[in-house]
A and B are shown apart, each in its own frame.
Chain A
Amino acid sequence: MKGYYSRKLHSLLGVIPLGAFLLSHMISNFQAFEGGKEGFKGAVNLLNSLPLIFFLELFLIWLPLMYHGIYGLYIAYQAKNNIGNYNYERNIRFTVQRITGVITFVFVIWHMYDTRFQIMIGKITHDDLGAVMHDIVSNPVLFVLYIIGVVSATFHFANGLWAFLVSWGITVGPRAQRVSTYICMGLFVFMSVLFILAMTGFRNSEFQAAQAAIDVVKTVLA
């Protein structure tokens, strides 16, 4: 595909559907903090009760994620980052966008292996997800790694939204771009806080699985 179209598609997919998915993911996870175990279960069930869930997942998550991730790695590889000589705020965000993109790529694969993949191979069910998350975030090292992954993902999305607005010609002048910086960086902070709260929610012992389930989870994580 011609560069212009492939790059435009990359930018579009990052916001719709991937960004939108990240937001919905944040809201359903936040249920773990707000509504506890039952709240989270309800949110998971709600999502899984959507009609044609297989196709929704395929076309709104899997394919866009693969395209955006792989093409994004190529974009990151192409840049000759130069914050040493040009340590301007915008240039730093340019480099951080590429770094967080790579971190998010790795994190998403890891996170999907722990959760969605285990469901796919039948080791756990959707009801066990809370317990899986509880076990992960109760481990201090994994908890920190998860925070890094989540904060990278939210930054990559919020800053990517800023760049989306520029590359589709929505924010043109310096003032519009400045205002959009405030909004997008505000969004980044807001989303990070909500995600981290959700993760602390998962640390709550009510997510602890019954002994039998713990064994399943342990073998999964081992």
Chain B
Amino acid sequence: MAQTAAASKTVKFIITRQDNPESKAYTEEFEVPYRPGMNVISALMEIQRNPKNAQGQTTSPVCWDSNCLEEVCGACSMVINGKPRQACAALIDKLEQPIRIQPMKTFPVVRDLVIDRSRMFSALKRVKAWIPIDGTYDLGPGPRMAEKKRQWAYELSKCMTCGVCLEACPNVNEKTDFIGPAAISQVRLFNAHPTGELNKEERLEALMQDGGIEGCGNSQNCVRSCPKGIPLTTSIAEMNKETTKHLFKRWLSV
């Protein structure tokens, strides 16, 4: 095994492709010359440069999405050897070959590995994942956040809307309208902010709409998959507590 790898110095890929959103998916194999330190994106770039499949036939280059190339934008998420992750941070040396690459099918596939993550952005809008500070005059500086709180809130703010947690979740699929873990964790983040807190109830109520927090079935795959190590299940449980409290408060306060 090691010998053949050393002799031919190529990396084998089996890529799931799809020409357009409606067409059927198919797989195509590729063999890319090995370079030390390469990752999945640089291998895809190599295919783009020389679009030949493993059989030597010329084919259309594989499409993918990427921006930052340092695991902070979340655009390059795809399923690599069965697990969703960022392609730019997936080092070839650490992957078993042949490397199987698929799009994250939880999202609509645009083409090949390019997916449409709009549902995540509409989820953020739905839960009002921002802090409303616009007004007609300067309100001056807002209240400060306690350092201890800031530390855990900072962890939550690392979310890059990459979609890995939705892909890993068994309850995010065509049969449900569950918004997924990321947006729930963002409610916790914005409700923790001293100014954001003023609109706390609105966000909680958004989580209590159809497809909200009740969609969580506690498989806890999200927390094991998040590349940013965000404590998603703690966020979800905390929001369970807050929405439960809100529920009783609403009932009891006429």
Contact = CB atoms under 8 A, between A and B. Distances in A.
A218 interface: no
A8 B207 CA distance: 13
Given A85-B83, A91-B220, A171 B237 contact: yes
Contacts of A166: 218, 233, 236-237, 240
A86 B82 CA distance: 9
B181 to A, nearest CB: 13
A8 B219 contact: no
B70 interface: no
B237 A172 contact: yes
Contact of A91 (B214, B221, B236): B221
Interface centre among A79, A82, A86 (most CB of B within 10 A): A86
Contacts of B196: none
B61 interface: no
Interface size, B (range): 35 or more
Interface stretch (B28-36, B47-55, B171-179): B171-179
Interface in A154-207: 163, 166-174, 177
A168 B238 CA distance: 9
Given A90-B219, A91-B221, A79 B240 contact: no
A6 B214 CA distance: 9
A53 interface: no
B169 to A, nearest CB: 9
A203 B144 CA distance: 70
A85 B82 contact: yes
B242 interface: yes
A2 B215 CA distance: 12
Given A4-B208, A4-B214, A79-B217, A169 B237 contact: yes
A55 interface: no
Contacts of A78: 171, 173, 175-176
Given A88-B220, A166-B218, A166-B237, A174 B175 contact: no
Contact of A174 (B209, B225, B233, B240): B233
Given A167-B240, A169-B240, A172-B234, A81 B170 contact: yes
A169 B218 contact: no
Interface centre among A4, A81, A177 (most CB of B within 10 A): A4
A80 B219 CA distance: 11
Contacts of A91: 170, 219-221
B224 interface: yes
Contacts of A170: 241
Contacts of B220: 88, 90-91, 94
A114 to B, nearest CB: 32
Nearest to B221: A86
B215 to A, nearest CB: 8
A106 interface: no
A6 B231 CA distance: 27
A167 B9 CA distance: 51
Contacts of B108: none
A3 interface: yes
B10 interface: no
Contacts of B209: 2-4
B152 to A, nearest CB: 11
B216 interface: yes
A116 interface: no
B20 interface: no
A62 interface: no
A169 B244 contact: yes
B44 interface: no
A169 B212 CA distance: 15
B210 interface: yes
B213 interface: yes
B115 interface: no
Contacts of B216: 167
13 contacts: A4-B214, A78-B173, A79-B171, A86-B219, A90-B221, A91-B221, A94-B217, A94-B219, A166-B240, A167-B214, A168-B240, A169-B240, A169-B243
Interface of B: 82-83, 168, 170-171, 173, 175-176, 208-221, 224-225, 231, 233-234, 236-245, 247
Given A3-B211, A172-B237, 17 more contacts: A2-B209, A3-B210, A3-B214, A6-B214, A75-B217, A82-B168, A82-B221, A86-B219, A88-B220, A90-B220, A90-B221, A94-B219, A166-B236, A167-B214, A167-B240, A173-B237, A174-B233
